[in-house]
Structure 1
Amino acid sequence: MTRMTPSEAFVETLAAHGVTDIFGSWAQPSWMLWNLRARWHPLYPPVS
């Protein structure tokens, strides 16, 4: 079994918590976390 990269492990963690649609995260309970993250994280688009 190959080793997961940190980003893959992060996605797996999100999936385990039920956050499977990152780009549709405003519909998830954790939308506020993603709204904050999107303000500085280069991999996610800004959330209006």
Structure 2
Amino acid sequence: MLEFQAWVVPLTESWPLPLRAALFPVVLLTTMTYVVMPAVTRLLRPWL
């Protein structure tokens, strides 16, 4: 997560705070839902 913030914060410094605050959850939740969790589910399929 820190890498994401280090990359995005300089690009969004001029944005209003509410918009910046909304960006992080939307991007991270989308990434977790559609990229990370399917991979973890496949990896842990025998245990699940």
TM-score under structure 1 length normalisation: 0.28
TM-score under structure 2 length normalisation: 0.28
Higher relative contact order (CA 8 A, sep 6+): 1
